[in-house]
Amino acid sequence: MRMECCLLTVCALCAALLFVLFYWLVPAVQRSSLCTLIWHATITERLRDTLTRSTRPQRMLKAVQKNATKGNPQSVISAIDYFCKNSEWAMNVGDEKGSILDSVVTEVNPSTVLELGTYCGYSTVRIARLLSPGTKLITLEFNPAYAAVARQIIAYAGLQDKVTLVEGSSGEWIPQIKERFGITTFDFIFLDHWKDQYLPDIKLFEECGLLRKGSVLLADNVICPGAPDYLEYVRNSPRYESRYYPAHLEYTKLEDGLEKSVFLG
């Protein structure tokens, strides 16, 4: 009898815990940008990694290989969006902000492109599919495991000949770009890596002479998780003309946006 009472008590406590989790904690997490990022990028990711003995990028790659058509960039983008909406959240630029990225790339029609923060190659594929033949796209990723998956996703989309993926930090590579790749200036730069590096990196672009009059920089996640020092700089510097594109954090309803800054010389 005592054993049955203990089991009933445990079951009741578990039911109460589940009630709190699904009716209070999860909605609260979804309302907070910081909590949402911690929940998706740390808690649930580590739990799934442990249960599946794989990583989120590896699972994303499998979803692409299973659901996308090889050599079709749009199907790769759609497969990743579906995975992130229905299976696991991931820190791609996402479909909503991705459409803004598409429109800016199309408007600029760049010949030289730099992306800071490849992750799994989602935004790389979005950008590369819109580029004219002969355009140089360099994408930089600090994490070797992410870079390994990104190479496979870019190749699956059939865009490997358009993309040069470099592993390392932006602070290390930006000063070497002219010498290593023969690029004098960039027409378009997409910033989507560590947010506290946006400001140091834009100043490094200036110091290294990698910006020309009319160069366009597009920065993601300027609201969530945020890059306030970068926004203050580009919005108040006479060297830039900036415009904010309001949107939402990828695959959520949380406020976020992109900042487009044109270098005036």
Distance (Å) of CA 173 to CA 103, 180, 215:
28, 9, 19
Hey, which residues are catalytic here?
Answer: 192, 195, 220-221, 250
The CATH fold of domain 95-263? Rossmann fold (3.40.50)
DSSP 116-162: E--TTSHHHHHHHTTSPTT-EEEEEES-HHHHHHHHHHHHHTT-TTT
CA dist 45 and 88 (Å) reads: 8
CA dist 175 and 182 (Å) reads: 12
**In tens digits, what is the pLDDT along the chain, a chain of 265 residues?**
555 555 445 444 544 444 444 444 444 444 455 566 665 566 777 877 787 888 999 999 999 999 999 999 999 999 999 999 999 999 999 999 999 999 999 999 999 999 999 999 999 999 999 999 999 999 999 999 999 999 999 999 999 999 999 999 999 999 999 999 999 999 999 999 999 999 999 999 999 999 999 999 999 999 999 999 999 999 999 999 999 999 999 999 999 999 999 999 9
79 Cβ contact list (under 8 Å, min separation 6): 63, 64, 66, 67, 68
CA dist 158 and 129 (Å) reads: 9
Q: Which residues are annotated as a binding site for substrate?
A: 195, 221, 250
CA dist 216 and 264 (Å) reads: 10
CA dist 29 and 26 (Å) reads: 5
The residue written with tokens 């739990």 in the block is 47
Q: Which residues are annotated as a binding site?
A: 93, 123, 141, 192, 195, 220-221, 250
pTM beyond 0.75: yes
